[in-house]
Amino acid sequence: MTKPHYQLYINGEWCEGSNNQTLDSYNPATGAAWATFACASPEDVERAVDGAKAALNNPEWAKMTATQRGKLIYRLADLIEENAEKLGKIETTDSGKLAHETVAQTRYVSDYYRYFAGLADKIEGATLPIDKADMHVFTTREPIGVVAAVVPWNAQMFLTATKLGPALAAGCSIILKASEVAPCPMFAFAELIEQAGFPKGVVSVITGDAENCAIPLTSHPDVDKIAFTGGPEAARHVVRNSANSFAVTSLELGGKSPIIVFEDADLESAANGLIAGNFGASGQSCVAGSRGFVQRSIFDEIMKRVEEKAKNIVIGNPLNPETHVGPLCTKAQVERIKDTLEKSVAQGATIRFGGHAPEDADLADGNYFCPTLVECPNTDIETQTIEMFGPVMSLVAFDTEEEAIAMANDSVYGLGSGVFTQNLARAHRVSQQIHSGVCWINTYRAISPTAPFGGYNQSGYGREAGSESVLQYTRTKTTWINISAEPMANPFIMR
């Protein structure tokens, strides 16, 4: 059977990379190559940036009214919804994420584009009450310019929507750089961009390695904004690269999110929250609640409930709707988890269940790893400090509210957090003291187009989603108009 091949989408045209480099994309469930894709060279990046810059001056885009832009984005949203099953299955085959999750998430992503489409003609300026006579002064917001959006493999459609949606609403042009790991859904998505009818150069989709693609893109002098999602180490390179153009940057980085369970919590809800926060998406989520802190009086009961629920988790083919946990995207993730668990046990941790690949021979060729629960004597254990990006949960007991807050904040990250308690005052009190960009109370991993998302500390800066995210793709211009009938005063005569 012939493997599908995906080309780059640059300036409205489908093409191979100028260096003719192609790579295989591997199905994490089988370990076999299932598709090939073209890789961009520095010359291809140059063409994409030149095209994006030209699009900003192309009347087809530059003179399009904000309302017309919104209608175009609405058209894209409809196409995404219509093709959600196709896109989701490609993403599942390419990354190993569960099909029922990728299809549902893609369908929901269409609402993100509708939200941003509605904001396109709500980007407003202001008239200023200036302190000088005969002066009319007002502000307007203009597109920031050429945007480079770097998107990882683990939630491509969602993380693209939170960048592409506001960029298009603001009138920018954008180059989407897909991960060279599992990029195929992004090229299938580019087909919808073409069908929607965006003018040439407004959106390009490329992929490739750091040297030939990511570095030339993020260091290009004509890039005005970089929107990056990925790890902190890569982000440091992006920030350094942005110095070439002083590009505005927004960073959504890694996480090691805490979930605090107090003794007055609904225990069933708390156990489900821990399961969702750690084993949902096979643990491959930047907001995975992999640092669990449970009050000592209920610690054993929570452990028992989590273990009972874990027994019913079905590990298997991600295309099977009965599967709960699929494969990890890469073999490197599996090896990293094994190594971290080994070190954690040596440090005094106890693996309560899991900690190994499944024994099913049918899964032997895939990147599978069993849901794992680690009991930790303290927060120094490596599973408590390192982002696992796999289905591994670490629990530590605490005694007091103050101790729980201190443990939760003892991290270089600050993306998500969770609190389970039925005490409303405590919920408000604790959530305000946790250093994270998002805090869920008695739930976990909920998202919405209207809710800003982003982190503190080494989890990055800037916010995605919500109305304020659109403004991050604009610049403010101040216009002064002298409305006096008299000539402008001689600057050398002081009054």
User: Could you list the active site residues?
Assistant: 252
Exposure letters 302-325 (e unless 16+ CB within 10 A, then b): bbebbeebbeeeebbbbbeeebbb
CA distance 338 to 392: 10
Give the Cα-Cα-Cα angle 128, 146, 468 (nearest 5 degrees). Answer: 45
CA dihedral sign, ordered 66, 68, 72, 74 = positive
Q: For residue 371, how far is the Cα from the chain centroid?
A: 23
Dist CA 382 CA 344 (whole Å): 5
Contact status, residue 3 vs residue 35, Cβ threshold 8 Å: yes
| CA dihedral over 223, 250, 479, 495, signed as positive or negative | negative
Distance CA 48, CA 222 (A): 11
Token representation of residue 64? 């399009």
